[in-house]
Amino acid sequence: MPALLNQASCAPVLIGSDRDTGLSLCYVAGDVTSDGAIIWLRAAPGSEVVLHYSSDRTFNRFSSAGPFRVDESADHTAKIELQKLDPGTTYFYYAAVAGKKPGYLASFLTAPASSDAAKVSFCFSGDSRESYQPFTIMNAVRAFLPHLLALSVNSPFWCGRKTGVKSVRSTIFKRFPRTQIPEYFRSWHEYQKFVDLLVRTNCIDDAKKIWWDVRPHAHFKTLEFRICDIPSRMEETIMIAALVQALVCKLRRVFEGNLSFRVYERAIIMENKFRALKRGLDGHLIAFDLKSERPTRELVTEVLDFVDDVVDELGTREEMAHLRVWAHAGDTGADRQISAWENTHDLRAVVDSLVDETRRGL
């Protein structure tokens, strides 16, 4: 069964299926395109699930998919593919287990049609063309992923409960295969052999089903950073994106200069990831020299010092200055959610604060 961390310790708190709905772990919408989406959910063993969906929140007109029997071999999950959707449309959906009350209402937004013009502001990505040694950069940048997570933590609640961690998303997502910090890869060829093996043995359809915290994008020639929670403040999102860009640029410069960078063992990075998801900026991480633990805020400042000589060229000096102030004494989205809860003991106040923060920068 999935486990969260107890608020008072590291003891697991098991979350089973909800008695009323027969569902657990809520829903996950993924692989959303202009005309389709995949919904993942988990339910009680032996359950049959129907998914109802509509572009009308009132469900005056709706479609249904299923019933689907949850897969015992995949931890009682169901993968529901929705097709023939309209592009650029918000769809509302809920799941219903036979003989149980309907689940909660969720939503997703389909991508625009390929013919539509779209303004793209930024993405969490870095150049990974073969000439720039993508796996040399990816192997090195793994060490900085916990620091990015510590800045972005923004999910302290799950299913209406305070979990005791600041990024419960990170603890839940590890239930899926091919997640977390990637292993060390010596070359694109070695990575491609791994992907080919998974496709050949029917583990995945293509490399899009690899969900590591950083990965080569399956179709674009970029490195994709997936470690972060979604910040609710636009300015925090931009600062983190600027730091991602600077890290990739700096490491590329290091390797182009025929220099090397220490490659840390995955087990050490995973330890730091746990510390980051547990405490955010207010904890301690294993230092880069591996001699001691140090406050996370100090180590984030070290990361900023490391990339400082490339930020002027990238035009992100202002963002880095704000990020330095934030790392020194600022709070995270998780801190603000917890504060709203402790002041009111009302989850609606937490939701209201998230809505306000999200709207503020738009």
Residue-wise pLDDT tens digits, 5-22: 333 333 333 334 467 777
Residue 352 vs residue 80, higher pLDDT: 352
3-class secondary structure, 274: helix
Compute the distance between CA of residue 67 and CA of residue 152 in angstroms, rounded to an integer: 38
Identify the residue with better confidence: 148 or 50: 148
Q: For residue 53, is pLDDT > 60?
A: yes
Task: Name the residue with higher pLDDT: 128 or 346.
Answer: 346
For the chain, the average pLDDT equals 85
Note the CATH architecture for domain 17-109. Answer: Sandwich (2.60)
Greatest mean pLDDT among 18-22, 135-139, 202-206, 330-334: 330-334
The predicted model scores a pTM of: 0.68
Which tokens in the block code for residue 342?
Answer: 């402790």
- Nearest-CA neighbor of 25 among 103, 107, 109? 103
Q: What is the crossing angle of helices 296-307 and 145-152, to 10°? A: 120
Give the integer Cα–Cα distance in Å for 18 and 16: 6
Question: To which residue do tokens 């772990």 refer?
Answer: 25
| 73 — pLDDT class (breaks 50, 70, 90) | low
CATH 2.60.40.380 domain locations along the chain: 17-109
Greater pLDDT, 219 or 290: 290
Q: Which residues contact 142 (CB under 8 A, 6 or more apart)?
A: 181, 182, 213, 214, 264, 266, 269
Q: CATH 3.30.590.20: which residues of the chain? A: 125-360
Amino acid of residue 264:
Y
Distance between CA atoms of residues 176 and 179, nearest Å: 6
110, 91 Cβ separation under 8 angstroms: yes
Ranked by mean pLDDT, the top range of 74-83, 150-159, 254-263 is: 150-159
β-pairing, 161-162 with 293-295?
unpaired
**Top-confidence residue, 257 or 16:** 257
HSE-up of residue 98 (Cα within 13 Å, Cβ side): 10
- What is the CATH architecture assignment of 125-360? 2-Layer Sandwich (3.30)
Report in angstroms the alpha-carbon separations of 291 from 211, 294, 346: 31, 10, 43
User: Which residues contact residue 291 at a Cβ distance below 8 angstroms, ignoring those fewer than 6 apart?
Assistant: none
Spatial contact of 347 and 160, defined as CB atoms under 8 Å apart = yes
Q: What is the CA radius of gyration of the chain?
A: 21
pLDDT of residue 4: 35
Q: Is 9 helix (H, G, I), strand (E, B) or coil?
A: coil
Over pLDDT 90: what percentage of the chain? 52
Dist CA 116 CA 70 (whole Å) = 37
Euclidean distance between the first and the last CA atom of the chain, given in angstroms as a whole number? 39
